[in-house]
Amino acid sequence: MWRFIVRRLTFIPIIGIIISAFVFVMLRAFPQFTGDPAVNICGLNCPAERLEIIRHELGLDKPIIVQYGEWMGDVLTGNMGTNYYGGLDIADEIVRRLPVSFEIMLLTLVFGGTIGITFGILSAVMRNTPLDYGVRFLAVFGQSLPDFFLLVLLIVIPSILFNYAAPIGGYVAPWDDPWTNARMFVPPTLILSIGGAAGLMRLVRSTMLEVLRSDYVRTAQAKGLHPRAVVLRHAFRNTLAPTITVLTFILATAFGGALILEVVMSIDGLGAFFFRSVIQRDLPVVQFTVLYTAMIVVFINLLQDITYAYIDPRVRFG
């Protein structure tokens, strides 16, 4: 098991270098899209002498390979630098916002996984019943609705029908005020999890139906095992591999969902910070956030591979 994990870990630095180099070069190779940082900071009517001073202060007058080497050296030592607008320390800003985005991603995964697995199993066990038809309809319907549209409705409909306004803006930690935190995050993350839960329901249902027709499941039923034991201990265990794949996909895409949620609900998390940085063309923040997001996805896939190896030892020798 440890050899398998070590083999996977050896690829992470290589992937990180490739992604960071690609992002760093692309942000500077096409100034027609990102603009000149010096011009963005000083303005279009800035004198040429002032532009040269700003470029020198930002290190933009150095060869690109030197800029990349200095940036990677700073990242590896924990120095993320400062943003172009305000001179704020990027590491401090990310640490301050990280709990917000982490809570959104965690709740989205928990709600999506719980709803998708539970109703997927029920739909398969109660095949061709009203519950099965209802679950299948909701699964297709849930995958058809965009998240941002539902989040806007979450704000508009309660305010019109019930004169209720959900908390918007700021952040209240769950240990400071659990009720306000729940009002702020539970409804939108439930909506954010609908798409992932719908896809997971369809996958669990189809996989469970295939497994329930297997000979070993019929044998377990013939031995008189309790139906719950047959479904959960024997049938569902063999659907874990595809289920884990979808769960990791939900977690990986939750960052994009967090960006939408934070912008719509005016929550100051990593997603909103990244969105503003892209709009302002704040390159230091953009390049680090892209690298951070890519490495999160890499580690999620590593966790997925380790889980595969744990539930199926044949994967370790593949």
| 246-293 pLDDT, tens digit each | 887 777 777 777 777 887 777 878 877 888 887 777 778 888 878 877
Count of beta carbons in the 10 Å neighbourhood of residue 241? 15
- Give me the helix-helix angle, 64-76 and 283-311, nearest 10°: 60
Which tokens go with 181? 């935190």
Share of the chain above pLDDT 70, in %: 90
CA angle (308, 14, 65) in 5-degree steps: 155
What is the C-alpha separation between 157 and 155, in angstroms, rounded? Answer: 6
**Residue length, the chain?**
318
Residues near 50 by beta carbon (within 8 Å), at least 6 away in sequence: 42
Cβ–Cβ under 8 Å, residues 138 and 200: no
Residues near 259 by beta carbon (within 8 Å), at least 6 away in sequence: 271, 272, 274, 275
Share of the chain above pLDDT 90, in %: 0
Please say if the pLDDT value at position 59 is more than 70: yes
* Domain parsing of the chain, residue ranges: 14-76, 91-281
Q: What is the pLDDT of residue 302?
A: 79
Q: What is the pLDDT of residue 1?
A: 61
Cα distances (angstroms) measured from residue 22 to each of 17, 129, 199, 295 = 8, 52, 32, 14
Closest among 133, 119, 129, 114 to 205, alpha carbons compared: 119
SS3 36: coil
Indicate if the alpha-carbon torsion angle 200, 201, 204, 209 is positive or negative. Answer: negative
170/15: higher pLDDT: 15
Structural Rg of the chain based on CA atoms = 24
Cβ–Cβ under 8 Å, residues 174 and 233: no
- Per residue in 111-138, pLDDT (tens digit) is 988 888 889 888 888 888 888 888 888 8
| CATH, domain range 91-281 | 1.10.3720.10
- Per residue in 191-226, pLDDT (tens digit) is 888 888 888 888 888 888 887 777 777 777 777 777
Q: In the structure, what pLDDT confidence band is assigned to residue 33 with cuts at 50, 70 and 90?
A: low
